[in-house]
């Protein structure tokens, strides 16, 4: 595996964190030297399409911003004519092929669940960023647009693998949108990026930043790694929880509802006790740093004979 660090995708960490991370979108030109076929190729996608048990929840097809209902490219699979082992909603490769040739973008989500290279790259991002990271693959036919302008609730790292893809990315807003927004290009400022990604280029887009791909002359294959932001509320919650659950004063003292226990004064006293414990807590930094060791984050490779 040729990748060992996030620096393989975004260059020197110091510069990335001080200049771009959570601040502004940026293209890291020719970050990954070719050839790129060993990372992920259209042949790998073909192979996956023909996995008979690949569920259509993993495979999303879209055309001009509209999702294609999954029943249009699904079939039912039965193993050894056993009705108990019947899987509905499995991907039908022939139907997918026809829809792709009719202009649909293929969006295979959660590829890290299936492919060891994508899983390893997801792990590199997860270890660095302290969150679970998913890897997705997009194959877009020439002269089409699968998705309209939108923002995502997570940071994205887009790696162009083959063909080219033209992106427009707008400035990262000071206040990030909390919900879905319908963007109309004529009401938006000038994009800060309007450029064609070449194989080996990496595009970083902070969460909440509007972006949209633009149709190109050739078929494009890219992968995207999505990393949700960690908020202070998440981190403080884990610190406070560790204290509350580890301290008998909070954990074993019963709160009695309906006997006037919760006066403003008593709440204040309990809060002060909690603040005191937070000040005294050992290993605060460990709790705040604890991330990639969390079982929900890793999807570590294991070997049966090691
Ligand atoms: Fe996106």
Centroid of ligand 1 to alpha carbon of 214 (angstroms): 12
Short-list 88, 135, 126, 147, CA closest to 108: 135
Q: Which CB contacts under 8 angstroms, 24+ apart, belong to 186-192?
A: 188/149, 192/24, 192/25
For domain 7-227, say whether CATH 2.60.120.650 is its number: yes
**Res 259: pLDDT:** 65
Return residue ranges of the chain for CATH 2.60.120.650.
7-227
CB atoms within 10 A of CB 130: 19
Peptide bond connecting 35 to the previous residue in cis, omega within 30 degrees of 0: yes
Pick from 137, 121, 96, 99: nearest CA to 6: 121
Helices (runs of H) and strands (runs of E) counted in the chain: 9, 13
Distance in Å, CA 68 to ligand 1 centroid: 17
Cβ atoms of 5 and 124 closer than 8 Å: yes
Residue 99 pLDDT exceeds 80: yes
Q: In a 3-state reduction of DSSP, which class is residue 155?
A: strand
Q: Rounded to the nearest whole angstrom, what is the distance from the C-alpha of residue 204 to the centroid of ligand 1?
A: 11
Q: How far is the CA of 205 from the centre of ligand 1 (A)?
A: 9
Task: Say what the pLDDT of residue 292 is.
Answer: 45
Q: Which of 116-120, 156-160, 292-296 has the lowest mean pLDDT?
A: 292-296
d(CA 41, CA 58) in angstroms, rounded, equals 18
Q: Residue 204: pLDDT above 50? A: yes
- pLDDT > 70 fraction of the chain, expressed in percent and rounded: 93
Distance 43 CA to ligand 1 centre (A): 24
Task: Please determine, for residue 300, whether its predicted confidence score (pLDDT) is greater than 70.
Answer: no
Q: Say if residues 214 and 168 touch (Cβ distance below 8 Å).
A: yes
Distance 158 CA to ligand 1 centre (A): 9
**pLDDT tens per residue across span 248-265:** 888 998 887 766 666 778
């Amino acid at each position: 595996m040729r990748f060992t660090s996030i620096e393989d995708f975004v260059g020197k960490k110091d510069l990335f964190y001080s200049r771009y991370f959570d601040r502004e979108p940026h293209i890291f030109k020719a970050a990954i030297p070719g050839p790129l076929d060993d990372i992920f190729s259209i042949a790998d996608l073909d192979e996956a399409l023909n996995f008979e048990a690949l569920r259509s929840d993993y495979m999303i097809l879209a055309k001009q911003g509209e999702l294609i209902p999954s029943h249009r490219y699904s079939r039912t699979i039965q193993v050894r004519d056993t009705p108990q082992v019947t899987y509905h909603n499995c991907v039908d490769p022939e139907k997918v092929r026809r829809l792709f040739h009719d202009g649909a973008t293929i969006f295979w989500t959660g590829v890290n669940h299936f492919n060891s290279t994508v899983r390893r790259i997801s792990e590199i991002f997860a270890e660095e960023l302290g969150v679970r990271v998913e890897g997705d693959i997009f194959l877009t036919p020439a002269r089409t647009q699968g998705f309209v302008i939108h923002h995502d609730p997570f940071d994205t790292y887009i790696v162009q693998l083959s063909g080219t893809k033209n992106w427009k990315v707008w400035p990262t807003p000071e206040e990030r949108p909390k919900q879905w927004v319908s963007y109309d290009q004529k009401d938006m400022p000038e994009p800060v990026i309007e450029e064609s990604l070449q194989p080996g280029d990496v595009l970083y887009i902070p969460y909440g930043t509007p972006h949209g791909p633009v149709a190109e002359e050739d078929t494009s294959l890219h992968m995207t790694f999505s990393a949700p932001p960690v908020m202070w509320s998440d981190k403080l919650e884990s610190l406070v929880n560790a204290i509350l659950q580890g301290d008998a004063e909070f954990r074993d003292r019963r709160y009695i509802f309906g006997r006037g226990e919760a006066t403003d004064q008593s709440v204040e006293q309990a809060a002060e006790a909690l603040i005191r414990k937070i000040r005294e807590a050992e290993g605060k930094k460990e709790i705040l740093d604890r991330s990639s060791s969390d079982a929900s984050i890793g999807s570590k490779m294991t070997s049966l004979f090691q």
